[in-house]
Structure 1
Amino acid sequence: MSEQPSWSEAIVEGSLDWSFLKRDDLYEIAELCAAIAYIDDPAQPRDLADLLRDYDMPHAHADVHAVVGRDGGGTIVAYAWNHISPSNSPLPHVWMEFGVHPAWRYHKIGLRLVEWAIDRARVWYRHIRQAHPGIGPLWAGAAVDESSRVADDLRENGTLAPQRWYFDAHRSLMDSPLPSAPVPSGIELRIFDPEWSEKVRRAHNDAFSTRRGAHDVGEEQWEASLARPDFRPRWSWIAVDTTAETPEVVGYALNSEIHDSETGWREGWTERFGVCPRNRRAGLGRSLLVASMRTFVEQGCTLAGVGVDTDDPSRAERLFGTLGYTFDDRVVLFGRSFSD
């Protein structure tokens, strides 16, 4: 780790004039993000509304956790922003965000920003641990387009490691016959019913318990996701182990609808999808996805889509690829836990 920065210093490197982020800077940051998006076409573009929302969060303190770099004319051409969790969180974390104007990418500014953000996150952790000595380790990371320059900078820095991958996948429901997928023995697929909600939540947390950096979804957050207007409970499927003394949910595909009212275009979207670890590699995930596709067709959708969250992108692409899905660009999550 490089020398610890002072809370009062915003210096990242020597080619730009650095200062801490101010709220008025966000309008220029939004323009910088638009210039970056024009060249890179990122999977998760940032706009002014996003920036203002994040800056105004009560625990954000962006005026000490974000920096901007200006060229000789005073124009912001680079920034880094550490989005911190509340300081009393039992599991503190920092989400890092970076941006460098395409014309300045060959000055190693991005690499220096990565170093600054990681150092800053660790200094913050040491600071809050003095007030809250019982907190857990710090997790710090960044989700970036896998083919982006930021990903290259993170790889070159080497402190954070790839942990998870995210991408969207789509397939037509009209161009080819739907695949078949027998349900494993002892498992019954059922339409989602609200009375199963808590068991499905526990199955979801179990399914993601093997993912590095994953946290359990709490009851309030879970119920809020099911209350969204685009969620379609009658389009959703759960897998129930009927051999257990008390039937348990061991897999799920919770689906929603994406549509365009002007064109009539409709896509069935698998929002949450998972299989409990002990029930994997038996074809259950495939069965849930195919059941969802058939429901989408019955409801008049012409497309099926899914948001994929995986720590094994090759295996995930094999699963979805054999079902006829094609893939958007991948986002990779770099992360690491720190105890000091």
Structure 2
Amino acid sequence: MREQQLSWEQAIVEGSLEWAFLRREDLGEVAELCAAIEYFDDPTQHRELSGLTDDFDRPWAYPTNHAVVGRDRGGTIVAYGWNHITPPDDPLPHAWMEIGVHPAWRHHKIGYKLVGWLIDRARAWYLHLRESRPELGPLWVGCATDEGSRVSTDLEENGLLKPQRWFFDAHRSLTDEPLPLVVPPPGIELRTFERAWSEKVRTAHNIAFGTRHGAHDVPQAAWEASLERPDSRPDWSWIAVCTDDPGAGVVGYAVNCEIIERQSGWREGWTERIGVIPDYQRQGLARALLAASMHTFADHGCTLAGIGIDTDNLPETESLFAGMGYRLEDRVVLFGATFED
């Protein structure tokens, strides 16, 4: 068992600020700090008082143990760190780190020190859980932040958490340049999505993403609800089946929806879910599904195609989407690591 650097009762992160555990009455000031940070950094993810309050009030959150605020000499909160923990009955405990430091205080390397404090805090919490539940699986600690941000730099300098996944949006015009050809791999047939295939597509989705760290199966009720949304376009969606092996079922899919900008009137076909089960990956199937979706979007009057991307293989993903004419927007990177003590 590793020796803890800080006792469970201590909130001290470093010496330039006055540190204390987060209280409910601090949330308004933390929201103001988040607004100041967002003004300077324009991050992909935004924090507001309502979300902070929801997180504080979760029954298992215990923020007065897992979050700290740092005040300057005038008593103003200029930094905070928060471990968002999973419920105590989760067999694989997680701690999601959240860090905010006012730009005027970043030269003190407060963010870097918060990273270390939060990791130590998460590991102390995990060892506490293990005292009564020795069968617990390993602890995962992670933090999602804009690539190239100060938080990203602090995480890289600490070095304990490593980049594991990247998230970003991509868009391309459907009118300014020719659309790619739809060329499925040999033995694969693309078919338009029909509701009779819904459960098989859901199964394929859970298989395709089942190897991702932290992935959870999409329940049937949630899957069906997503297809019933007003912006959902199941009839614009595609599936892939293997004609050489009819028993393989659905081996790939692209489930699409539509985004309409009310003021300007532009319409974008959006690929909400795309996946290929492992045995059929790296054969060009994802490219064929995307191309088929683009043609469908254009046929229905859309001028743009877009997609939200979640990948653990950044070079391959960038090559795929850039090669199909997508413009890749700012990336969010997920840092993470697993600990057993």
| Partner residue, 1:250 | 251
Map 1:1-340; keep pairs closer than 5 Å. 3-340=4-341
1:225 CA displacement: 3.4
Residues 256-307 of structure 1: CA deviation (Å, up to 9, x unaligned): 2221223212211111111112112211101100111111112221111111
CA contact (8 A) 1:242 1:248 kept: no
Confirm or deny: 8 A CA contact 1:91 1:136 kept in the other structure.
Answer: yes
Q: Secondary structure at the match of 1:151?
A: helix
Letter of the 2:44 counterpart: A
Compared CA separation, residues 324 and 64, structure 1 to 2 (3 A):
same
1:339, distance to aligned residue in structure 2 (A): 1.6
**The 10-residue stretch of structure 1 (134-143 or 221-230) with the greater mean CA deviation from structure 2:** 221-230
Distance in structure 2 (CA, Å) of the matches to 1:155 and 1:80: 17
Post-superposition offset of 1:236: 1.4
Give the letter aligned to residue 23 of structure 2.
K
- Deviation string 1:161-193 (CA, Å, 9 cap, x unpaired) is 111111110001111121113111221112222
The SS at the match of 2:14 is: coil
Contact 2:4/2:124 (<8 A) preserved? no
Which piece of structure 1 moves more, 68-77 or 242-251? 242-251
Query: 1:247 Cα deviation (Å)?
Result: 4.6
Cα distance between partner residues in 2 of 1:251 and 1:168 = 21
SS at 1:246 equivalent: helix
8 Å contact kept, 1:4–1:123: no
CA distance in 2, matches of 1:2, 1:222: 45
State the TM-score, normalized to the length of structure 1: 0.95
Q: Which moved more, 1:111-120 or 1:26-35?
A: 26-35
Worse-superposed segment, 184-193 or 225-234: 225-234
Give per-residue Cα distances to partners, 1:23-43, cap 9 Å, x unaligned. 221111111111111111111
Contact 2:111 2:151 in 1 (8 A): yes
Query: 2 CA distance for matches of 1:73 and 1:86?
Result: 36
TM-superposed CA distance for 1:2, in Å, is 7.3
- Higher mean Cα deviation, 24-33 or 100-109? 24-33
Offset of residue 206 of structure 1? 2.2
What is the alpha-carbon distance in structure 2 between the residues aligned to residue 217 and residue 135 of structure 1?
24
Q: Percent identity?
A: 63
Range that drifts further, 322-331 or 201-210: 201-210
Unaligned runs of 5+ in 1: none
Q: Deviation of residue 224 (structure 1)?
A: 4.0
Q: How far apart in 1 are the matches of 2:11 and 2:224?
A: 41
Structure 1 residues 218 and 114: alpha-carbon distance in aligned structure 2, compared to 1, 3 A threshold: same
CA distance in 2, matches of 1:236, 1:30: 40
In structure 2, the gaps of 5 or more residues are none
Shift of 1:220: 4.1
Farther-moved stretch of structure 1 (218-227 vs 29-38): 218-227
Q: Deviations over 1:33-62 (max 9, x none)?
A: 111111111111212222122122222111
The total of aligned residue pairs comes to: 340
Q: Evaluate the alpha carbon distance shift between residue 156 and residue 199 of structure 1 in structure 2; reply closer, same or farther with a 3 A threshold.
A: same
Give the CA RMSD over aligned residues. 1.7
SS of aligned partner of 1:46: coil
